[in-house]
Amino acid sequence: MQVQSASAVTLAKTASALQAALPPGVHVLERGWLSSNSVLFEEGERLSAVDTGYVSHGRQTAALIDRVACGRRLTRIINTHLHSDHVGGNARLARGGAVSIWIPAGAADAVRAWDVERLGYRATAQRCARFGFDGVLRAGDVLELGGRPWQVHAGAGHDPHMLMLFEPQQRVLITADALWEDGFGAIFPEIAGEPGFVEQRRSLDWINRLEPSLVIPGHGAPFIEIGAALQRAYQRLAALESSPQRNARHVLKVLVKFWLLQVGQAPIGRLIEHFSRARYARVIHQRYFPGLTYDQMFEQTARQLCHSGAAALDGSLLIDVSRNA
Ligand SMILES: [Zn+2]
């Protein structure tokens, strides 16, 4: 199992000028690609966290939180959505029983039944340690975080139940995977024939209307050039809408990279075998790449990951290359 070293992780806010733009007592733990950021809120002797990274980074997440905690106890986790790279630390962090977990209301039934099909963990062949929840959040709710009211907003597109959090006084927006500095999360619903592009556009429009002065994305560093980021996101969305195959290819790359993050390296044959059980990959093959064999589709994906610098090929051995390493 490959886990990023502690040096590969940056506590993005603490040393940067962007720290000043954050409300006091808010910390952003920024990590490498595909393990989500965690946003920490100091609340007296307590600490709340928004999102907890991927399961294979659980120990690292706990250590990072300890570094910020300075004796405070983590007592609450809020999840923007339930993709495995945002909730993977939940079970570990809540193990002692003194941590409450709040999730989007739309995903409550699936979590209660731990329906890995509906949660997408089986379809993507990803792992996630089971966790429960203590409360649900909906668009329109107001949540006290770090002693300030944060509004809950819908952020569908990448995930139909995804939520964003907005602090209106300093105009700080936690966008999860609805807006990154360069793009947004893959539009998973479209793969299965469900609408997602329309919702994604609505989320971008909504972000535009909120006029945030600082965005804390689910992946990558916080940023203040919101207008430019929105423009890139609209362009990317238009490109995906005009070529859904591009969205499918992107989803494939995300799935393979996730797996690589877990295993570190593996022969291509093992990769193909692993994804023979992933419904998403089967659907993508049938709908978008019927002209290729299943093996060819993954060989092509591996080459594309190498081309973008996210992996390297040594003969038939595919090797993870972690960003920020
Ligand atoms: Zn996601």
Cα of 71 vs centre of ligand 1, distance in Å, is 31
- Kindly report the backbone phi and psi dihedral angles of residue 216, in degrees, each rounded to the nearest multiple of 5, phi listed first: -105, 105
Closest alpha carbon to 33 in 13, 51, 8, 65: 8
Cα of 200 vs centre of ligand 1, distance in Å, is 13
- Kindly report the backbone phi and psi dihedral angles of residue 33, in degrees, each rounded to the nearest multiple of 5, phi listed first: -55, 135
User: Residue 247 corresponds to which amino acid?
Assistant: N
User: Residue 205 corresponds to which amino acid?
Assistant: D
Q: What is the DSSP letter of 7?
A: G
Cα of 313 vs centre of ligand 1, distance in Å, is 27
pLDDT number for residue 19: 66
Cα of 34 vs centre of ligand 1, distance in Å, is 9
Cα of 83 vs centre of ligand 1, distance in Å, is 5
pLDDT number for residue 261: 83
- The per-residue pLDDT string of the chain (325 residues; one tens digit each, 9 = 90 and over) reads 233 333 334 444 444 566 667 888 999 998 766 679 999 999 999 999 999 998 878 888 989 999 989 889 999 999 999 999 999 999 999 987 899 999 999 999 999 999 998 898 888 888 899 999 999 999 999 999 999 999 999 999 999 999 999 999 999 999 999 999 999 999 999 988 899 999 999 999 999 999 999 999 999 999 999 999 999 999 999 999 999 899 899 999 989 998 898 899 999 999 999 998 888 899 999 999 999 999 999 999 999 999 999 999 999 999 999 754 3
Cα of 252 vs centre of ligand 1, distance in Å, is 14
pLDDT number for residue 7: 36
pLDDT number for residue 2: 30
Cα of 36 vs centre of ligand 1, distance in Å, is 8
Cα of 106 vs centre of ligand 1, distance in Å, is 15
Token code pair at residue 309: 């610098």
Q: Would you call 318 helix, strand, or coil by DSSP?
A: strand
Burial class (CB in 10 A: 0-12, 13-18, 19+), 116: middle
Q: Return d(Cα 296, Cα 76) in angstroms, integer.
A: 45
Q: Residue 121's Cα: distance from chain center in Å?
A: 13
Cα of 44 vs centre of ligand 1, distance in Å, is 30
Place of tokens 């040393």: 15
Long-range contacts of 243-247 (CB under 8 A, 24+ apart): 244/190, 244/288, 245/288, 245/289, 247/186, 247/187, 247/190, 247/191
Q: Return d(Cα 201, Cα 188) in angstroms, integer.
A: 14
Cα of 281 vs centre of ligand 1, distance in Å, is 17
Cα of 159 vs centre of ligand 1, distance in Å, is 7
Cα of 233 vs centre of ligand 1, distance in Å, is 16
